[in-house]
Amino acid sequence: MLCAVTTTPSAFMRIISPREFVDVVVMKQYEDGTMLSAATHVEHPLCPPRPNLVRGFNYPCGCFCIPLPGEPERTQLLSFFQTDLGGYLPQTVVDSFFPASIAGFYSNLTKAVKALKA
């Protein structure tokens, strides 16, 4: 287990302020090659909110990367996320911002899985 602090940059010409998320993360690889990454928000005295960032909140979330038998270059992905971005954002802004943020997450996840398999 580890504690991770993730920050996101401002977006939409700074309409969306930078955010930070503090999570406890567990990663596990199973005998069949399945990888699990699970996280949830934590409060920690060594990670107080910073004045220049909005504190977001991740509900229990994570993903499973499941190898496809006979297809070593492919992985089935099962993921679940529920995030509160915090602050005072209209839901329409959140709805337009969040898909791009998740797409960036999946891009980084692809790189991480390839690095772990190498």
**CATH code of the domain covering residue 17:** 3.30.530.20
User: For residues 61 and 51, what is the distance between their CA atoms, to the nearest angstrom?
Assistant: 26
Distances (CA, A) of 87 to 8, 40, 48, 60, 63: 14, 19, 16, 20, 26
H or E segment to which residue 37 belongs? strand 35-41
Higher pLDDT, 15 or 82: 82
| Structural domain harbouring 78 | 2-117
Share of the chain above pLDDT 70, in %: 92
Predicted confidence at residue 8, as pLDDT, reads 83
pLDDT category of residue 97 using cuts at 50, 70 and 90: low
Higher pLDDT, 9 or 61: 61
pLDDT 10s digits, 49-83: 999 999 989 999 999 989 999 998 888 999 998 88
Structural domains counted in the chain: 1
